[in-house]
């Protein structure tokens, strides 16, 4: 390792350790100062991503915003995207599934085959989400996500700044890693942040329309995602998981 690379690595490791005591705003500022236009917020416009976008806007940071349109998003999500463009004056870099890969999947298995098995659902998520995510991240040095430790068991160990081995070893930044649901909503209400109106209808986690439902009292916040699956299956699409995880699920 060259002397320059050694110095860069040392700076990163120092920031990674210090970030656990930083506020979300400080993490966002560090990210923007470190990576400039080579970092983007990847979001499906749930409240976590909206908080990060609003913070960046208040800090005067012209943060790139990117999303994946799976082709099966709820109308409320598209309405929110229009509201975001007007409110924050940002372009939303939109990535779509590969039309050939998707057409082959639909031809062979049908539009709603994800209901048939976990492996089929994961394959659908790969085509509509994971593969477009790989394209979204091409050319970036880092990305920002709204992942929080309190969301699921698979996210309990995330750091505010970490190496994303699942996506080629680029840097992944999770400014809200230590936030709670209550903290997120308190920020949204205090700052009049736009949010998806499905939350007002009992939804607590929002993805594709056919794979998301409102939850009932006492259910886990992620219970509305892929609700027909066995509870032992992680409520993940694969974007925040390794390729090995997806392969293991599909082989079951």
Q: How many other C-beta atoms can be found within 10 angstroms of the C-beta atom of residue 60?
A: 8
DSSP state of 238: S
Helices (H), 60-201: 75-88, 99-109, 118-125, 131-137, 181-190
Residue of 125, 208, 211, 237 with catalytic role = 237
Torsion of CA 71, 119, 199, 58, to 10 degrees: -70
- Report d(CA 120, CA 109) in Å as an integer: 9
The phi and psi torsions of 65 (rounded to 5 degrees) equal -125, 125
Instruction: Sort strands 161-164 and 170-173 into parallel, antiparallel or unpaired.
Output: antiparallel
The phi and psi torsions of 195 (rounded to 5 degrees) equal -145, 160
**Given phi > 0 = left and psi -120 to 50 = alpha, else beta, which region is 247?**
alpha
Whether residue 124 lies in the annotated active site? no
Q: How many other C-beta atoms can be found within 10 angstroms of the C-beta atom of residue 4?
A: 8
**Catalytic (active-site) positions:** 237
């Amino acid at each position: 390792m060259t002397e320059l690379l050694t110095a860069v690595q040392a700076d990163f490791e120092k920031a990674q350790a210090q970030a656990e005591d930083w506020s979300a705003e400080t993490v966002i500022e560090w990210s923007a100062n470190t990576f400039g236009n080579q970092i983007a917020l990847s979001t499906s416009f749930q409240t976590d991503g909206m908080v990060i976008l609003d913070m960046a806007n208040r800090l005067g940071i012209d943060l790139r915003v990117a999303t994946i349109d799976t082709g099966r998003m709820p109308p409320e999500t598209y309405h929110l995207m229009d509201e975001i463009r007007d409110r924050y004056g940002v372009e939303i870099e939109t990535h779509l599934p590969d039309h050939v890969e998707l057409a082959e999947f639909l031809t062979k298995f049908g539009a709603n085959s994800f209901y048939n098995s976990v492996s089929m659902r994961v394959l659908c998520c790969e085509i509509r989400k994971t593969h477009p995510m790989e394209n979204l991240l091409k050319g970036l040095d880092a990305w920002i996500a709204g992942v929080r430790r309190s969301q699921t068991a698979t996210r309990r160990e995330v750091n505010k700044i970490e190496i994303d081995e699942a996506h080629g070893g680029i840097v992944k930044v999770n400014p809200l890693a230590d936030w709670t649901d209550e903290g997120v909503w308190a920020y949204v209400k205090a700052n009049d942040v736009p949010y998806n109106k499905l939350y007002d209808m009992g939804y607590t986690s929002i993805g594709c329309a056919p794979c998301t439902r409102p939850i009932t009292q006492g259910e886990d916040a992620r219970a509305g995602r892929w609700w027909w699956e066995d509870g032992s299956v992680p409520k993940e699409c694969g974007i925040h998981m390794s390729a090995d995880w997806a392969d293991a699920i599909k082989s079951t």
